């Protein structure tokens, strides 16, 4: 999907299409010709995105504070779009997004395996994060098999409602 504002999940689309959607929007705004031609764009592989947020992983309550240490994951098929750096202050009043972690693989299982590895490499000190919840989701047999619905996150929340994780 392309419209006047970029979607929060646009990195997943970029990973499976190999198209820079932000660049395409800039070309449109400049009156230039798009690099994309035709009605369909071939898809390649599978991508998974986790929103790493400053929240308590058990209660999903906001976790304001200062990021005292940040180590970002990397490697083949790993993308990190981050909003913070070491010494960033995450206030309690605004979006608690720390980063979007996106992995790509030849298939769903490879994308999930890369996500599991990337989550294990992602280190943030100073605030609580959603990383433990994402690790539990990635380990869930139903998620790994693609068997989930809009009520899926409720299983990972003590109050029966999901957070803004996926």
Give catalytic residues, as residue numbers.
Answer: 5
- Give CA angle at 100 (43, 13), nearest 5°: 15
Q: What is the largest CA-CA distance in the chain?
A: 50
Distances (CA, A) of 86 to 1, 36, 59, 74: 34, 38, 25, 17
Cα–Cα dist 26/94, whole Å: 27
């Amino acid at each position: 999907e392309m419209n006047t504002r970029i979607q929060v999940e646009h990195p997943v689309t970029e990973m499976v299409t190999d198209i820079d959607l932000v660049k395409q929007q800039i070309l449109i705004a400049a009156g230039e010709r798009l690099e994309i031609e035709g009605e369909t764009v071939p898809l390649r592989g599978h991508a998974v995105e986790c929103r790493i947020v400053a929240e308590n992983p058990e209660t999903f309550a906001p976790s304001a504070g200062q990021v005292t240490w940040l180590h970002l994951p990397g490697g083949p098929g790993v993308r990190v779009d981050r909003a913070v750096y070491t010494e960033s202050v995450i206030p309690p009043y605004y979006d608690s997004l720390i980063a979007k972690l996106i992995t790509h693989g030849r298939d769903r299982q490879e994308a999930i395996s890369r996500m599991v590895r990337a989550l294990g490499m992602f280190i943030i000190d100073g605030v609580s994060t959603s990383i433990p919840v994402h690790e539990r989701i990635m380990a869930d047999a139903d998620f790994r098999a693609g068997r989930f619905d809009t009520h899926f996150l409720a299983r990972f929340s003590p109050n029966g409602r999901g957070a803004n994780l996926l």
